[in-house]
Each structure stands twice: as structure tokens, then as C-alpha cells.
Amino acid sequence: MSANIHHRWQRYWLPMGATLNLDADGFLPDPECRFGRHYNPGARQRRGAPQSPAVGQATSSAR
């Protein structure tokens, strides 16, 4: 199994101060689906590479 696995998951962000609402299992309801968009109306799809690590995103110092 390769250690260089990259998942192409959709990533979303919320404005600073917005409340993050998760479903009963702790997952983010799909902000783009008919019902999921009402859980987090401020959620927007993140496009492109992040300029800095997001909350909960690890960084690597390996060179």
C-alpha cells in the first residue's frame, strides 16, 4: 500500500464566528445537497490550494 494517497474530497469553509453544525454521527452534512445546505448556510466550497493550513490539517516538515 502506498503512503502517498491523496483524496480529492470537497473542502468547505465557514466565515469566522459562524457556527458549525454536524449531523448526529459527527459528519458535515453536504452543503450542496437539498437538505444539507440548511445545516450550515454560510458554508462555501474552497477552491484551489490553501495559503495556510486549515484547522485540523497537519503540516509536514519533511524535505
pLDDT in tens, 1-30: 667 887 778 888 888 899 999 999 999 999
Give 20 or 51, the one with higher predicted confidence.
20
Q: Supply the DSSP string of 8-56, one letter for each residue.
A: ----EE--TTPPP---TTSPPP-TTSTTGGGT-TT-EE--S--SSPPTT
Instruction: Name the average pLDDT for the chain.
Output: 78
Rounded to a whole number, what is the largest CA-CA distance in the chain? 43
pLDDT of residue 51: 58
Residue 63 has pLDDT above 50, yes or no: no
Q: Does the model's pTM come out above 0.85?
A: no
CB neighbourhood size of 40 (10 A): 19
Beta-strand relationship, 12-13 and 44-45:
antiparallel
pLDDT of residue 50: 56
